[in-house]
Amino acid sequence: MTGDRKFFVGGNWKMNGTKAEIAVIAKFMKTGPLSPNTEVVVGCPQCYLGYSREHLPANVGVAAQNCYKAAKGAFTGEVSPGMIKDLGCEWVILGHSERRNVFGESDQLISEKIGFALSEGLKVIPCFGEQLAERESGRTKEVVFAQLSAMKPNITDWSKVVLAYEPVWAIGTGLTASPAQAQEVHAQLRQWLRDNVSEEVANSTRIIYGGSVTAGTCKELASQPDIDGFLVGGASLKPEFVAIINAQQ
């Protein structure tokens, strides 16, 4: 990773957590110590966003795991960017593979949600990545470039975006892309930004890796030049999350 891109570690709690469990997470996050050279953001279940913001250290950002593309209205079960901000949170994770593959969200819907969240002042972690069959058939580049291309028209401010590449076959499976596999895709993604957005955006945008990242795998992944951090699932619920945050030390 180059020096002008601050290392970024996101935690995605998914549908996990109670007040008691969040208090335990807050305690080990406060104990740390967390590297001052890493920006840290955790994605909480929507109902605990306010509680998490109150209890986590002030230097840890809090993200919603989803939001809708409207400010208010008849959208039962959804939350708006304004509601997220009203709870003191500045981030949202959008387009996670589970939103795409379990709940059927399309590239177009995800793109529209990214655009609206940015317009409302949230910072966004858009997720994208290929499934196992797509990787095995040599379609990784085709799939991830198509997902990026769908997002691009609605990304108005790249400085508010942290791209999360998550090979779907490595999420929650214990399988991790090798550092060389992950670096290869990250380098291709950065070249895509160079070719389709600008040299400046390619050099400054953080591209983080997600997919069964653990304390054991994080250091070697973090040493790759185009891997600017991680989006961490299960390990973000455990004390080893601190070691992942400090992967560059």
Give me the active site residues, please: 96, 166
Alpha helices (runs of H) in the chain, residue ranges in sequence order:
19-31, 49-55, 81-86, 97-101, 107-119, 132-136, 140-151, 179-196, 199-204, 218-222, 240-245
Q: What is the DSSP string of 187-211?
A: HHHHHHHHHHT-HHHHHH-EEEEES
Q: Residue 210: which of 173, 246, 239 has the closest Cα? A: 173
In angstroms, rounded to a whole number, what is the distance separating the alpha carbons of residues 171 and 191? Answer: 24
> Considering all CA atoms of the chain, what is the largest pairwise distance in Å, rounded to the nearest integer?
48
- Residues linked to residue 93 through DSSP beta bridges, in sequence order: 125
Phi-psi region of 10 (alpha: psi -120 to 50; beta: other; left: phi over 0): beta
Specify the pairing of strand 123-128 against strand 60-64: unpaired
